[in-house]
Amino acid sequence: MDKLGSVRDLTFWGQLLMVGLPGPRVEEVARGLVRDLKVGGIVLFARNLESPEQVWQLTHDLQKEALAATGRPLIISLDQEGGTVQRLKSPFTIIPAARQLGLKATAAEVEALARRVARELCLVGVNMNLAPVLDVARGADCPLWDRSYGPDPQLVAKLGTAAIRGFLAGGVMPVAKHFPGLGDTVIDSHEELALAESGNGAREQDLFPFRQAVAAGVPVIMTAHLKVPEWDSRPATLSEKILQEWLRRDLGFDGVIITDDLEMGGIATRLPAPQAAREALAAGADLLLICKDWQAAWDTATLLAQEAALEPRGREAAARLRLLKERLKPQTADLKAVKEFFRSRR
């Protein structure tokens, strides 16, 4: 066994998983995922969130379990984009939709807003924000229209990199999404596999914001459940060509690649989560996202542990995640500080 663990142990593969939890407290299911499976990360949704004080207590308890089990912190994430995709509501800062920011805000204003949001997330123990969206939405028929800064790749890149700088300055890891860009789609990947409609094999309009994000030092990029016919017959999340040739080699990205939720229709209508996770890991993803079915997390680790051919990829992914965790800011605020900060906002 080396410092990253034995590949015969389910917990070696558990560290490559980011999973959802059933409720707002650390109970049996959550404790099992963190203490026994030793998952690498947690993603929070409305079902987990009640108040700033409760979120602080939840993340505090999760980190306590993780540190006792592994000696390493958990990645604790959520979607705090703005508009309709904002998990933490008032008294947290209410964030305008990206589309509104694209119409009205300067880069400096977006950066300051991201820094403020990040500091609130840090206060309650969230260390990763699944934002910003870098999709270049072409028109209102694109499902990402309101979540995109707009149809101009230069603007998306300018505001997206400003958000990345703000999140990093505020102490939270940003995640640029959804590579290689859902801006030329009319199918919602939550329901079905999205199809790139532009017919442009270069995709420079879609890639430009991601190139700029890589140059700005974004530490994590999320994949899209997207088929680009000019590139591959497989969805980007499961495509070695897209993740290794385009994202790693062409864009020069050496950070963590996280999948979008493997239970979304864009993947789940074709493959169950464990099989999709296996294929995503083989293609080049490092962190495998399963948002709802926590039993699927156990099933995924069991399946991966049986795949000897995945060992080199698993070790590469584990090493990247170890480096990312070394950059996570520790939870330093106590409950009193959280209460005092949010008291004036109620």
CA-angle at 198, arms to 197 and 199, nearest 5°: 95
Q: What's the DSSP call for residue 234?
A: S
CB 277 within 8 A of CB 14: no
60 is catalytic: no
Angle subtended by helix axes 153-169 and 204-215, to nearest 10: 30
146 is catalytic: no
Which residue, chain included where needed, has tokens 């379990």?
A: 65
CB 321 within 8 A of CB 5: no
Q: Which of 79, 135, 146, 260 is catalytic?
A: 260
CA-angle at 224, arms to 222 and 229, nearest 5°: 140
Residue 189, strand partner residues? none
How many CB atoms neighbour CB 33 within 10 A?
A: 24
Q: Which of 61, 188, 190, 299 is catalytic?
A: 190
Q: How many CA atoms lie within 13 A of 59 on its CB side?
A: 32
Which residues are catalytic, by number? 190, 260
